[in-house]
Amino acid sequence: VIANLALEYMGHAKGDYRHLHPNNDVNMAQSTNDAYPTAIRLGLLLGHDTLLASLDSLVQAFAGKSAEFAHILKMGRTQLQDAVPMTLGQEFRAFATTLGEDLEHLRLIAPQLLVEVNLGGTAIGTGINADPSYQALAVQRLATISGHPLKPAADLIEATSDMGAFVTFSSMLKRLAVKLSKICNDLRLLSSGPRTGINEINLPPRQPGSSIMPGKVNPVIPEAVNQVAFEVIGNDLSLTMAAEAGQLQLNVMEPLIAYKLFDSIRLLQRAMDMLREHCISGITANEDRCRQLMENSIGLITALNPYIGYENATRIAGQALLSGRGVLELVREERLLDDATLDNILRPENMIAPRLVPLKA
């Protein structure tokens, strides 16, 4: 194609390769084995910016909800059991932080993985049939055109046969997919109910939930992101096996490797935009429900333990479990703490961070 276009530009007929030959001239000093992996690397460098932009926007959306919910006390949970108090803002801040880690890793590590190219190595990395000065000039020119600091690989034979950079890049995409899926699981749990579940947050309704159960609304956006994550995780496994299947001086599975990488980027970018626009931005909190669950939770006794002692705390917890009454109600009834002290303990800033406890006289 390039040869024929050039021939037309030069005033010659297509196919008149006496003047310009596709192999001898256009493809001079090039092999599929060095041009193709170089193109994959350059494509990833040029194409993953949209992924970073979508991830950054999602991080900011979670951070915004963290600030919005900073004052809302709720019960934290471990192993699906009541643990200790926290704020809903802290929960959403953790979502922003964990995704922010991947944003920074992709920004810093991806370019380091992808800037070394084997262009000029020709068939297996020895550079046969290439001019000695070709590699440096070609890579320098490609770096100028692309705007990325491409450089020749230190070992062209290794760079031609090894797919390690692609494995690492794919594993970073998989890690992001795993985190997104876990967050979506949490959103589904926190919004479960509305009457018989946790129901601490409301996800924006996006479609009727059931043709047989009137009024039911399902968390369809997080569920869709879950499924995207599963696909990306599968892409990573396929790519891993393709990288492993290389033999001796060449890996002929690069078409699958390229497809899975660009597919994962496309899926993640679209899924994150959908999650932010159609779910996170519209989440609201059920503040009264959060406080009700916290105040009725046995886990609240942990916050009172330094003030009433372990024995009293254990006894109150047992009574609360047996009677179904709240921990605060029982503490007040037994006058273990006065209302002013309880109010001080239950202030959000005192419940959610390390705090010095006054020593008893």
Q: What is the pLDDT of residues 136-157, one digit of tens each?
A: 999 999 999 999 999 999 999 9
152: β partners? 117
Q: Name the strand (E) or helix (H) holding 84.
A: strand 81-87
Whether residue 13 is contained in a domain is answered as no
Query: Which H or E element spans position 117?
Result: strand 116-117
> 100-114, 116-130, 281-295, 344-358: which has the minimum mean pLDDT?
344-358
For residues 266, 267, 273 and 277, what is the CA-based torsion angle, rounded to 10 degrees? Answer: 150
Average pLDDT over every residue of 298-316 = 90
Active site residue 210: yes
Q: Are 168 and 186 contained in the same domain?
A: yes
In DSSP notation, 131-174 reads: -TTHHHHHHHHHHHHHTS--EE-S-HHHHHH--HHHHHHHHHHH
Q: Which of 171, 210, 281, 323 is catalytic?
A: 210
Q: What percent of the chain shows pLDDT beyond 70?
A: 98
Residue-averaged pLDDT of the chain: 93
SS3 at position 87: strand
Q: What is the pTM of this model?
A: 0.90
Instruction: For 196-222, give the DSSP string.
Output: SS---EEPPP-S---SSSTT----HHH
Task: Note down the domain range covering 322.
Answer: 297-351
Question: What pLDDT is attached to residue 298?
Answer: 87
Instruction: Report residue 318: phi and psi, to 5°.
Output: -65, -40
Residue 176 identity: L
CATH number at residue 42: 1.20.200.10
283 plus 303 within the same structural domain: no
Within-domain flag for 63: yes
The verdict on residue 47 lying in a domain is yes
Residues 6+ apart with CB under 8 A from 185: 222, 226
- pLDDT given for residue 360 in this prediction: 54
Residue 97, domain member (yes or no): yes
Could you say which of 236, 261, 287 is where a domain stops? Answer: 287
Q: pLDDT tens digits for 71-117?
A: 999 999 999 999 999 999 999 999 999 999 999 999 999 889 999 99
| Whether 304 and 265 share a structural domain | no
118 and 32 in contact (C-beta within 8 Å)?
Answer: no
Q: Are residues 266 and 306 in the same domain?
A: no
Buried b (16+ CB within 10 A) or exposed e, 86-114: bbbbbbbbebbebbbebbeebeeebeebb
39 pLDDT above the threshold of 50 = yes
Same domain, 190 and 314: no
| Mean pLDDT of the region 341-360 | 74
Statement to judge: residues 138 and 245 lie in one domain: yes
CATH of the domain at 316: 1.10.40.30
Q: Are residues 261 and 319 in the same domain?
A: no
Q: How many domains does the chain divide into? A: 2
What does DSSP assign to residue 346? T
Of 260, 287, 314, which one is at a domain's C-terminal end? 287
Q: Is the domain of 251 the same as that of 147?
A: yes
Query: What pLDDT shows up at residue 104?
Result: 97
Same domain, 322 and 190: no
